[in-house]
């Protein structure tokens, strides 16, 4: 087994392949670490694949996806192919610096950490389209998930292979790797300032629209972290509150009706009916979600806990 697997997901990065491989070889001592480089091509339409193959490097393993699935799927494919005891994740656009990997790996091993995340201290990106939205998103994610990572957007991370392989990275969840790692028992997480370079070749694949994707994925993370094993506590609690409120309104109106008042057409009556129906639906959703949760664990012989 190799000591370190470096996973790089690329999409139309033909000009960055050779310089990045050269930087990795010059930054990581082959005598100290037995490492492999796993390039995952996410459906590139330029010469990215040809440039990887042309290097004819025995340390490089190429994984070709049939089309552009997105970074989360590409990372999953790379992690599945990794054979190292430790895994390093980095971008393929030369903005991450491979020279930071040995330092992060030493901290991971010497301090027995589960994950070491990079912080782009001197970030070389646009202020309004990249930095400010990123700061806002990072703050919201920290408060919502309880995982105090300063820079969720930094791809450069080093983590234990068993933690990485237990993670399930679907959709656009690659931004939440520290949170996903914590789900698998990887709670011993630390951070480290790393170098960040301006993009020289190619174009960025990110836009302002990713903010909405982050917010949508955040809802998934909050639910999984707080209610994955007890969905009825969420849906059932709100369902009971809503149902009681609706019944209370209708009882109040019934009393008024018995006292001779006309209640037909009152908005309050319609609100009461709506709350009763919503409460019944929420409780039903909770029962269904609880059944699905039990099916998820029991059908795969999974356990809702992790043993060291």
pLDDT at position 286 over 90: yes
> What pLDDT shows up at residue 136?
75
β-partners of residue 158 are: 88, 116
The band of 164, judged by pLDDT with boundaries at 50, 70 and 90, is: very high
Q: Does residue 132 contact residue 90 with C-beta atoms inside 8 Å?
A: no
Please tell me which residue, 123 or 12, carries the higher pLDDT value: 12
Alpha helices in the chain (DSSP H): 17-27, 48-54, 71-81, 101-110, 132-145, 161-166, 177-183, 210-227, 231-258, 267-299
* φ/ψ of residue 34, rounded to 5: -90, 105
The pTM of the full predicted model, rounded to 2 decimals, is 0.80
pLDDT at position 1 over 60: no
> What pLDDT shows up at residue 174?
86
> From CA 123, how far away is CA 196, in angstroms rounded?
6
> From CA 137, how far away is CA 8, in angstroms rounded?
24
pLDDT at position 124 over 80: no
End-to-end Cα distance, the chain: 21
* Pick from 81-95, 137-151, 184-198, 270-284: least confident: 137-151
The band of 206, judged by pLDDT with boundaries at 50, 70 and 90, is: low
pLDDT digit string, tens, across residues 24-57: 999 998 778 899 999 999 999 999 999 999 999 9
Q: Does residue 8 contact residue 90 with C-beta atoms inside 8 Å?
A: yes
Write down the mean pLDDT value for the chain.
87
Q: Does residue 139 contact residue 218 with C-beta atoms inside 8 Å?
A: no
> What pLDDT shows up at residue 146?
80
Token pair 């790996």: residue: 105
The band of 260, judged by pLDDT with boundaries at 50, 70 and 90, is: confident
pLDDT over 70 for what percent of the chain? 91
Q: Does residue 213 contact residue 265 with C-beta atoms inside 8 Å?
A: no
Instruction: For strands 115-120 and 157-160, give the pairing.
Output: antiparallel
* Pick from 108-122, 155-169, 289-303: least confident: 289-303
pLDDT at position 2 over 70: no
102: number of CA atoms within 13 Å, CB side?
13
The band of 284, judged by pLDDT with boundaries at 50, 70 and 90, is: very high
> What pLDDT shows up at residue 63?
96
* φ/ψ of residue 266, rounded to 5: -70, 135
Residue 295: burial class (beta carbons within 10 Å; 0-12, 13-18, 19+): exposed
pLDDT over 90 for what percent of the chain? 57
Residues 6+ apart with CB under 8 A from 71: 9, 42, 172, 174
Q: Does residue 24 contact residue 102 with C-beta atoms inside 8 Å?
A: no
Please tell me which residue, 96 or 261, carries the higher pLDDT value: 96
Neighbours of 241 (CB within 10 A): 13
Select, from the ranges 189-198, 261-270, 295-304, the one with the highest average predicted confidence (pLDDT). Answer: 189-198
């Amino acid at each position: 087994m190799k000591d370190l697997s470096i996973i790089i997901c690329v999409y139309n990065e033909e000009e960055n392949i050779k310089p990045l491989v050269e930087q990795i070889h010059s930054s990581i001592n082959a005598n100290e670490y037995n490492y492999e480089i796993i390039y995952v091509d996410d459906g590139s339409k330029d010469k990215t694949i040809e440039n990887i193959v042309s290097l004819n490097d025995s340390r490089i393993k190429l994984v070709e996806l049939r089309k552009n699935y997105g970074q989360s799927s590409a990372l999953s494919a790379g992690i599945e192919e990794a054979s190292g005891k430790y895994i390093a994740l980095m971008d393929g656009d030369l903005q991450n610096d491979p020279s930071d990997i040995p330092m992060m790996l030493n901290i991971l091993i010497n301090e027995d950490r589960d994950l070491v995340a990079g912080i782009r201290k001197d970030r070389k990106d646009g202020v309004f389209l990249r930095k400010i939205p990123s700061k806002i998103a990072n703050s919201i994610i920290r408060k919502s998930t309880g995982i105090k990572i300063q820079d969720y957007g930094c791809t450069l991370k080093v983590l234990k292979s068993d933690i990485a392989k237990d993670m399930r990275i679907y959709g656009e969840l690659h931004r939440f790797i520290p949170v996903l790692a914590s789900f698998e028992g990887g709670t011993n997480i630390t951070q480290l300032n790393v170098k960040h370079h301006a993009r020289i070749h190619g174009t960025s694949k990110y836009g302002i629209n990713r903010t909405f994707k982050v917010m949508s994925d955040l809802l998934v993370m909050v639910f999984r972290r707080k209610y994955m094993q007890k969905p009825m506590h969420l849906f059932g609690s709100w369902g009971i509150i809503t149902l009681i409120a609706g019944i209370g309104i209708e009882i109040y109106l019934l009393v008024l009706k018995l006292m001779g008042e006309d209640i037909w057409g009152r908005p309050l009556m319609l609100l009461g009916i709506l709350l009763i129906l919503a409460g019944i639906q929420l409780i039903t959703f909770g029962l269904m979600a609880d059944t699905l949760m039990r099916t998820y664990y029991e059908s795969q012989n999974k356990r809702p806990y992790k043993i060291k």
